[in-house]
Amino acid sequence: MDGERANAARIYDYFLGGAHHFAVDRQQAERILAGNPDMAHTCRANRSYLGRVVRWCTAQGIDQFLDLGSGIPTVGNVHEIAPAARVSYVDVEPVAVEYARELTADRDDVQVVRADLGVPREVLDAVGCHLDLTRPVAVLAVAVLHFVDDDIPAILSRYRDAMAGGGVLAISHGSTDLDDPELAARTRAIQEGYRTSASPVFLRDRDELRAAFDGFELVEPVMRDVVDWPAPTGEASVGAYAVVGRRAA
């Protein structure tokens, strides 16, 4: 278990008020806050978006969820929002996986897998015994893809190819391709704050995020800040786009 370098999952837990982080994570978090004092709001906004998109999916009749980069469990986990659903949580961070397994040990409808979301075959092989991939699944990648230094469209295309028609892909992703230059500057400060951690940030523009949804029908509203999906909440924007797509039947 790596306690020598700060990790995104544990930093996120710190910002959300959790208890599963090390001193190195708290120190890195404070450096991030120095550049963007709104970072805790950003994390809470992403968590709230997760809740809204899960409820939207259940309203579409989806009862299976694959939560990529699920992080350390906190208030508002997918299985709590959709208690009748089957859920597979996937994360590569050992603290996140260990705690999630403890939290859900008595639930047959919840699976926790330690795997790298950037290796879709590994993930899909692991969850194939728990989720019925011949039926619609909601694949969630909330506040995680900007920690992936790889070809996001190529990675997500492999999940898409394994999805049945009617399945959903929902992401949130940090970006500086914003209409508000001050918000873009704060987002760059977040990126700089993570630079020396074990989880540096890789921001992408709107065109790159749209390209990740090739083969999906984008759900309105398209490319809105997470606080404004599916409708404005009145909260301050955080510089992370929400994008939701439906797999064509």
Which pLDDT tens digits describe the chain residue by residue (249 residues)? 455 788 888 888 888 888 888 899 899 989 888 888 888 999 999 999 999 999 999 999 999 999 999 998 887 899 999 999 999 999 999 989 999 999 999 999 999 999 999 999 999 999 999 999 999 999 999 999 999 999 999 999 999 999 999 999 999 999 999 999 999 999 999 999 999 888 899 999 999 999 999 999 999 999 999 999 999 999 999 999 999 999 987
Alpha carbon distance 203, 146 (integer Å): 6
Determine the pLDDT at residue 1.
Answer: 47
pTM assigned to the model: 0.93
3-class SS at 7? coil
Alpha carbon distance 229, 223 (integer Å): 9
Domains of the chain are: 41-247 (3.40.50.150)
Structure token digits, residue 79: 């299985």
Find residue 245's DSSP bridge partners: 169, 218
Classify residue 219 by its DSSP letter.
P
Find residue 244's DSSP bridge partners: 170
